[in-house]
Every structure is written in C-alpha cells, then in structure tokens.
Amino acid sequence: MISSEARPVTRPAAKYRSQLRIYLDIMHVIQRESNEAKPTRILYGANLSHDRLVKYLEELKTLGVIQERGTDDKIYSLTQKGVEFLNNFRKVESFASAFGFKI
Amino acid sequence: MELIAFTIAFAVAYQALKGYRLSKERTLLYLHFSFVLLGAGLLVDALSGIIVLISHFLRGLLFLYSLGYTINFIAQLVAYGILVVAYLQQTRNVPVQLAAAAPIASILFFERNAFTELILIFLLVYITAQMVINYSINKSTNALLVFGAFASLALAHLFFLMFILIPVFFPLAHIAQLFGFLLLLAMLLRVNQAL
C-alpha cells in the first residue's frame, strides 16, 4: 500500500516521459520527503522500476544534483545545485505555461 | 514608447532562451526567436522615427520612416507567424518550415496601410484565442496577463488600422501597444519573484 506521502507524481496521462522529466520527478519526490528520501519512497513516488531507479540515481549523483548518505540504509537528498535547478525549472515551467506551452 | 516595448520584448526573449537552455524544449526556442524579432522590429521602427524627427523631416531621409515600418511589419509578421506555428505544432504536427512561408515580404517599402494591419490583426486574434483557451485551462494570473498582453497588441493594431481614417487613434494605438508589453513585463516579474 502506498501512503499519501509516497504517492506517484501526478500529471495528465502521458505515454512517454523524457529523461529530464524523470530526473525532475525523482528530485520532486526527494524534496517532498523533507529532502531525505529512501530509495523505496523514490521508486513509488517517481513511478519507476528498481533497475531504472538505480540507473537514474547514479546519473543524478554524477550530475551533482543529489547526494547519497549511509551504506545499508541509503538516504538521498538534494544538493544546493539540485535545489537551485529545481527552483529554476519551476520558473521556466511557470513562464512556458503562461504562454500555453507544456514542458 | 517603442524603446520600452523593445526592452520588454528582449527581456521575454532572454527568459525564453534561459528556459530553452534548461529544458531543451523547442517551443521555448520559437518563443525566443519570436520576441527577438518583435524587439528588433520595434527598435528599427523607433530609431528610423527618431532619425526622421532629428533631421526635421528632410526630404531625402523621409524614406527611412517607410523603411522602419516595412522592417517592423515583416519582423512582426514572422514573429507572430512563428508563434502561430508553435501553437499549431502543439495540436497538430505542422512542420516549422511553414513559419518561413508565413511572411509575404515585399521588396518595396510601404507606409502603414489597411492590408498590413489586417494581416497582423488576423495573426494576433488567433494567438489571443489560444491565450483564452490557455487561461480557461490554467486559470493562472500569469496566463491572464499574457492573454491581456496579446489582446492589447491586437487592439493596438486595430487602432493603427482605424488611424488611417481617424488620426486620433494613433496615440491610442501606441498606448495599447505599450500596455500590452507592460503586461508581459508584469508576467515576467511574477515568474521571477515566485518561489
């Protein structure tokens, strides 16, 4: 059972999620979890399979937007760069939406 | 007035470019080019008007006024054409190359006339209708501001059309145009102050 906090990021029915959109969904989930999210929460929240989650988390770590703590019980949090990226992206989304464009 | 509008148009273009760099969303690139063209057209029109004024309407330089209007008209035609194609692309798969076919550029310079204004009004009415649909879906203040901006620009060109018959509409058209760009500035400030 998925708790209300770990509910998947909702959006209009879309057949295809871009890589950027998946990155953003993962980062949204981490931010929603008070910037301390366990992999299971991210997996449910971002609606990803385990293999894809591991792949994307590695990519986000390489990009320097998230960081990992712990060895057995891994916890992910956004870095300062990640928070800034998310805030800038929200501004872009708001700007594009004002003109009726979807990102 | 045109110089203020030019500055705002370039600010919108810059914001769209920033958005494109972050998201790689092609529609934002179209928006960027559209507002760069709008700004450039307004700048050329304003500068040609200033030069003609400074030269005290010297007969040899009067062609600059027509040249400025011609460049501004073509720039607006392409700019609004790009926006129309961007909206059409969202719903149907219209190739963007059509945007290049939108302007019917003339090699002759022309004065402000009913035909050019009617073309711009037609394009702006289409864009304004898209903004109404967007606002009815979003219900956000930013969408309302953009709708208001394009409605004002359409009204400005309607006033430019009426100016051909009644001169009093000329300042009203400039005020409506400036108001439209000020609404876009308000939207930009809201977007950047959010969060």
Which candidate from B24, B146, B192 shows the least CB-CB separation from A99? B146
Q: Residue B170 has what pLDDT?
A: 85
Write the pLDDT tens digit of every residue in B102-159.
554 444 556 667 778 888 898 999 999 989 998 998 888 999 999 999 999 999 999 9
Band of the pLDDT at A8, cuts 50, 70, 90? low
Q: Both tokens of residue A43?
A: 């997996």
Q: Residue B12 has what pLDDT?
A: 92
Is B89's Cβ below 8 Å from some Cβ in A?
no
CA dihedral of B22, B28, B33, B37, whole degrees rounded to 10: -120
Is A94's Cβ below 8 Å from some Cβ in B?
yes
How near does any CA of chain B get to the CA of A102, in Å? 9
A10 DSSP assignment: P
> CA-nearest residue of chain A to B20?
A92
How near does any CA of chain A get to the CA of B175, in Å? 23
Q: Are B31 and A99 in contact (CB under 8 A)?
A: yes
Q: Residue A1 has what pLDDT?
A: 39
Write the pLDDT tens digit of every residue in B64-104.
777 888 888 888 889 988 888 888 877 665 555 544 445 54
CA dist A33 and A39 (Å) reads 11
The CATH code belonging to domain A19-95 is 1.10.10.10
**ipTM at complex level:** 0.79
Which candidate from A85, A91, A99 shows the least CB-CB separation from B194? A91
- Give me the numbers of helices (H) and strands (E) for chain A, helices first please: 4, 2
Write the pLDDT tens digit of every residue in B33-44.
999 999 999 898
Residues of A in contact with B191 (CB under 8 A): 91, 94-95, 98
CA dist A96 and B21 (Å) reads 13
Is A16's Cβ below 8 Å from some Cβ in B?
no
CA dist A8 and A2 (Å) reads 9
Which candidate from A20, A92, A102 shows the least CB-CB separation from B19? A92
**H-type helices in chain B, by residue range?**
2-23, 26-54, 63-91, 98-101, 114-138, 141-163, 169-193
Is A15's Cβ below 8 Å from some Cβ in B?
no
